[in-house]
Structure 1
Amino acid sequence: MKRPLAALAMTAVSILGMMTVAPSANAADGTCTSTTNVWRSYNKNNYVSTVPTTGSGSTSCIMQQGASGYHVFVLQYTLHFCHGYNIRMDHQYGPETAAAVRSFQASKGLAADGIYGPNTRNALSWRFYVTDGSSLACWRL
């Protein structure tokens, strides 16, 4: 009788352990280190935007203070042109970018931690261009 109860207890502990460490649906796939193009069609025009990604191409990524590169510039550009934040677009995720991300997050009712992640990405409107360069728009992904 003791062995079946011990086995049942171990199974319960294993299941509960998996439930507590399972990632949430909004968990990121890694750190943003690159970019990719996202395409949309509207009124017979093709629009393209560039968004941050992991090295493997997932748009579900995280950026925070200390990051640098073109992927940071893309975020800064979107914060500036689509959301009105007057920040330097210097490819550096410094205190100024973190403050703009915090302010944006707070304005959307998100946890205002200054870290760009999947929830922030989904709330942002990104700068899209018609592929012939004739028009601009800001849309959510």
Structure 2
Amino acid sequence: MAATAAVAAIATPAQAVGSFCDIAKATYTGGYNNANIIMPANDGADGISCSMSRGASGSGVYALQQTLNRCYGESLSLDGQFGPRTQAALIRAQQRHGATRDLGRYTDDEAYYLKFMGIRGLRLVCARMDGAVLQ
């Protein structure tokens, strides 16, 4: 069972069509190495199924930027704007995990392989959706 908390955001035109990531959601990964990770999500979608690309803005982008900084060593401004620097950082993270499609675009398919910033006990960690704590 997933424990979730949501942070509301206003959708922009770049997010208005389909299931775009307009919020950040705390999701319990489960498993032996369980953690609560903060992931981009869609306020109207079930779970964390969403996508976003350059031009998007809001809490979902902010969560992605936090993850890229904490788990991938980037130094992005936490401005909630999916601009060229966020896109380039996402491509580097995706390539690090062997991604070959949807580069520079955040999708639920790609999200499965990425590490996300989270909390396990009293520690900040980076963990995947399957519960693997990687830092």
How high is the TM-score relative to the length of structure 2? 0.70
- Specify the alignment match of 2:106 in structure 1: 116
- Specify the alignment match of 2:58 in structure 1: 69
Long gaps (5+) in structure 2: 1-17, 130-135
C-alpha distance after superposition, 1:116-138 (max 9, x if no partner): 1123211111111146xx21211
Which structure 2 residues correspond to residues 1-141 of structure 1 after superposition, within 5 A? 30-40=19-29, 47-57=35-45, 58-110=47-99, 111=101, 113-130=103-120, 134-141=122-129
Secondary structure of the residue aligned to 1:89 is coil
Distance 1:73 1:121 in 2: 15
Distance 2:89 2:81 in 1: 13
The structure richer in strand per residue is 1
- Specify the alignment match of 2:132 in structure 1: none
Distance 1:66 1:55 in 2: 19
One-letter amino acid of the counterpart of residue 115, structure 2: S
Distance 2:21 2:64 in 1: 11
The structure richer in helix per residue is 1
Long gaps (5+) in structure 1: 1-28
Runs of 4+ residues over 3 Å off in structure 1: 40-43
Identity of aligned residues (%): 30
One-letter amino acid of the counterpart of residue 52, structure 1: P
How high is the TM-score relative to the length of structure 1? 0.67
One-letter amino acid of the counterpart of residue 114, structure 2: L
- Structure showing greater Rg: 1
1:107 CA displacement: 2.1
C-alpha distance after superposition, 1:12-60 (max 9, x if no partner): xxxxxxxxxxxxxxxxx721112222124677x9742221111224312
Number of equivalent positions = 110
